[in-house]
Amino acid sequence: QVQLQQWGAGLLRPSETLSLTCEVYSGSFSGYYWSWIRQPPGKGPEWIGEISHSGSANYNPSVDSRVAISIDTSNNLFFLSLSSVTAADSAVYFCARGKFNMRHAFDIWGQGTLVTVSS
Amino acid sequence: DIVMTQSPLSLPVTPGEPASISCRSSQSLLHSNGYTYLDWYLQKPGQSPQLLIYWGFNRASGVPDRFSGSGSGTDFTLKISRVEADDVGVYYCMQARQTPFTFGPGTKVDF
């Protein structure tokens, strides 16, 4: 059964860079799209961006100038980097997998990482 | 961006009774390929969201058949034929017709 295990720093100061990693257990990268989604406390989710198994990425314009999503298929990992964070970036961050050959229909999710930005 | 709205935002339910949630998009979610890019997710308290429905009506693997999705264009509905205790949580619709994918504000279902 495919699982996503994510990790990264949970407390950042303003202007620092958020870095999260998501590891894919018992599954293949090929044929799937991999997304990052965040959810501010008490609010609905926000799609941050995605990367294909071949490394092609798409981002939400709301963070486009600060975000980068990358993959390491050799080690079944994909990454999120968000620079120049502010308090508005405080949220639970999730990694997720779209169904086979689909960019959406996120059928596997990581456990979530709470990121707090505070001085 | 495509704006998603949901109603109601809060839905008190009774076990064994039906429930219905409405979702509306600011643009049609029907693609020229014939597919409608609308998903439904349930986020149970303290958990990650879980996929219920994709393509507007396809139940995800393991989802009970008491859940059904319908609708077209800009208006969609998620129905629960008989609510069970395990169905409490926040339900979100999400459009994937164009990026950025956007979610609705959520409908909190509780007893």
pLDDT in tens, B97-106: 999 999 999 9
Q: How distant is the Cα of B60 from the closest Cα of chain A, in angstroms?
A: 8
Can you give the C-alpha Rg of chain A in angstroms? 13
At A19, is the secondary structure helix, strand, or coil?
strand
Q: Name the residue with tokens 């409405």.
A: B22
Q: What is the pLDDT of residue B23?
A: 98
Lookup: tokens for A67: 């975000």
Interface test with B, best of A99, A104, A108, A113 (most B CBs within 10 A): A104
Q: Name the residue with tokens 């298929």.
A: A73
B106 touches chain A (CB under 8 A): yes
**Rounded to whole angstroms, how far apart are CA atoms B104 and B49?**
13
Over the stretch B6-40, which tens digit does the pLDDT of each residue have? 999 999 999 999 999 999 999 999 999 999 999 99
A106 touches chain B (CB under 8 A): yes
Q: What is the pLDDT of residue A60?
A: 98
Q: Which of A44, A102, A105 is closest, CB to CB, to B103?
A: A44
Is residue A29 predicted with pLDDT exceeding 90? no
Over the stretch A49-108, which tens digit does the pLDDT of each residue have? 999 999 999 999 999 899 999 999 999 999 999 999 999 999 999 999 999 999 999 999
Q: What is the pLDDT of residue A28?
A: 87
Strand pairing class (B10-12; B107-110): parallel
Q: Which residues pair with B6 in a beta bridge?
A: B23
Contacting residues of A for B105, CB less than 8 Å apart: 44
At B18, is the secondary structure helix, strand, or coil?
coil
B101 touches chain A (CB under 8 A): yes
Please state, for a pLDDT cut of 90, what percent of chain B lies above it: 100
Q: Where are the beta strands (DSSP E) in A10-55?
A: 11-12, 18-25, 33-39, 46-52
Lookup: tokens for B111: 């007893």
Residue A27 pLDDT grade (very low, low, confident, very high; cuts 50, 70, 90): confident
Contacting residues of B for A112, CB less than 8 Å apart: 48
Higher-pLDDT residue of A42 and B90 is B90
B103 touches chain A (CB under 8 A): yes
